[in-house]
Amino acid sequence: MKLSKIFILASAVLAFTACSEDDEWNSTNGATVSMGQETMSVKESKGMFNVPITVTGERNAPVQVTVEVVAASENAATEDKHYLVTSKTINIAPEDEVGKIEIIAVDDDEINVAREFTVNIISVKGATINQEKKSTVITLKDNDSAFYEKLGGKWVMTGIDPTDGSPLSWNVNVIAADEDDVDYEKYLYVTGMMGYSWTMAVLTYDYNMDTNKGSLTFEPGQLFAEDVNFGLGGVNDVYLYGFNGRSFTMNSVSGTWSEDFKTVTFAEGEAVAGAITDKQGNLIGYLWFAISDIKMTR
């Protein structure tokens, strides 16, 4: 009789425990789990960052999500070497719409191509997986070759006026495009030439990882200033061109930066010039300025 009672009590405890486990997770219909973004891009120096997971639909209890990480087929980022995952299983409370997988990017001192890996939702409790949005591809961008951003900031541009040999010096500001801009790592913008903040020279940026060398280039035919009153009747625009001492040319002028990023030296004897144009960009034969032997220092 005593054994029977113990058995019944034990059965009741087990039944209660099983019921409690079933009630631990959401039991409503219609809750769906998705990765919050299809792609993400972070720098190796980012440290900890979050990969969002979204939940839609009404819930009466938390949802549990488990993910896996998969290396890319090319330029793969390796777990526990290039990044660390704090936890691959998270619980999302019923009042929350977003959960977060914490990942730590590992910084190194090597110049390398961007590395990729994928975070996939592999199982959930209390919801269903949106199969079309169950993955986020993450790109770890190299920060050791981020020379593009290092070139930004205040500089002093010096040179020679090729028309009379007089020295020129202007305080300029180099501006890099935002990382999500299509111009990122393609163009840099220099304001302040001629002493005016409203002038802007566009320089193309190039870096060759194989040779570890880079260049900045004034390309001919770039808009430099708009709606300037030179007293020629109305307003005019200014475009940058190459200059041979007598006329405008379509020659580009390139420079390279020093290892400490404190000097950019352009080709000796080569010049760029501000050509005054009409509002359609047509040359009208007037020179605003010219500068050769360009050097930028900070």
* pLDDT tens digit sequence for 200-221: 999 999 988 777 788 999 999 9
Q: Do the strands 167-176 and 271-277 form a parallel or antiparallel pair, or are they unpaired?
A: unpaired
Q: Are 185 and 176 in contact (CB under 8 A)?
A: no
The alpha carbon of 193 is separated from its chain's Cα centroid by a whole number of angstroms, namely 27
Structure confidence by residue, pLDDT tens digits, 237-279? 999 999 999 899 999 999 999 888 899 999 999 999 999 999 9
Domain over 27-141 is classified CATH 2.60.40.2030: yes
Residue 44: count other Cβ atoms within 10 Å of its Cβ. Answer: 23
- Phi first, then psi: give them for residue 164, nearest 5 degrees: -140, 0
Q: Residue 12 pLDDT more than 50?
A: no
Evaluate if residue 6 carries a pLDDT over 70. Answer: no
pLDDT at residue 145 in the model: 62
Note whether 214 and 207 are within 8 A (CB).
yes
Strand, helix or coil at 14? helix
Task: Give the pLDDT confidence score for residue 109 in this predicted structure.
Answer: 67
Residue with tokens 């020659």: 251
Question: Cα(100)–Cα(98) distance, rounded to whole angstroms?
Answer: 7
- pLDDT above 90 covers a percentage of the chain that reads 73
Per-residue pLDDT at 252: 97
List 286's β-bridge partners, or say none: 276
Question: What is the pLDDT, as a whole number, of residue 5?
Answer: 31
Higher pLDDT, 123 or 74: 123
DSSP 76: B
Angstrom distance (rounded) from CA 157 to CA 292? 11
Using the predicted structure, report yes or no on whether residue 4 has a pLDDT greater than 90. no
Buried b / exposed e along 235-255 (16+ C-beta atoms within 10 A) = ebbbbbbbbeeeebbebbbeb
Whether the pLDDT of residue 11 is over 70: the answer is: no
> What is the predicted pLDDT for the residue at 241?
98
Q: What is the mean pLDDT of residues 25-36?
A: 96
pLDDT at 17 over 70: no
pLDDT for 94: 96
**CB distance 32 to 130 below 8 Å:** yes
- Residue type at position 150: K
For residue 130, what pLDDT is reported?
97
CB proximity list for 67: less than 8 A, separation 6 or greater: 53, 88, 89, 101, 119, 120, 121, 122
Domain ranges of the chain: 27-141, 147-297
What's the pLDDT at 2?
Answer: 30
Q: Which 8-state DSSP code applies to residue 267?
A: P
10 Å CB burial of residue 113 (0-12, 13-18, 19+) is exposed
Calculate mean pLDDT across residues 274-298. Answer: 96
Mean pLDDT, the chain, rounded, equals: 89
Structure-block tokens of residue 55: 């939940």
Confidence of residue 19 (pLDDT cuts 50, 70, 90): very low
**Is residue 134 very low, low, confident or very high in pLDDT (cuts 50, 70, 90)?**
very high
